[in-house]
Amino acid sequence: MAIHTPAQSRPAGQARGKSYMGKVWLTLVLYCIYWLPGFIANIVFYRQGRRDEEEAGARLPGVRVLAAMFWAGLVFLVLFVVLTAFLAVASNVA
C-alpha cells in the first residue's frame, strides 16, 4: 500500500488556482500576537507554497509575500538580539 501526501493526491491542475493570501494574513496576525508562532507558521506555509508552485509550474499569489515576511522576521530577530546585547552592555558600564 502506497502512502500519498496531500500534494500527490491532488489532481494535476488544482494547485494552479490556489492562493496563499489567506495564509499571509494569518501569519501576520500570529506575528502581531507573538513572534515565534508567526515565524513557525511562516516557514510551514512558505514550504507548502513552494511545493505547490513546483506542482503548478507557476507562481502562486502570496508565496513571495511569505518569503518577504520570513526575511523581515529574521531581520527583526537579529536587530532584537543586537539591541538587547547593546543595552545589557550599556547598563553594566554605567
pLDDT tens digits, one per residue of 15-43: 677 889 999 999 999 999 989 999 999 99
Give the residue among 57, 20, 51, 27 at the shortest CA–CA distance from 41.
27
Q: Is the dihedral of CA 73, 74, 78, 84 positive or negative?
A: positive
- For 33-69, write each residue's pLDDT tens digit: 989 999 999 999 999 999 999 998 899 999 999 999 9
Q: Is the dihedral of CA 40, 41, 46, 48 positive or negative?
A: positive
Predicted TM-score (pTM) of this structure? 0.74
Please name the residue that has the C-alpha cell 491532488.
10
Q: State the alpha helices, DSSP H only, in the chain.
A: 6-9, 21-33, 35-56, 63-93
Give the residue among 43, 57, 44 at the shortest CA–CA distance from 14.
57
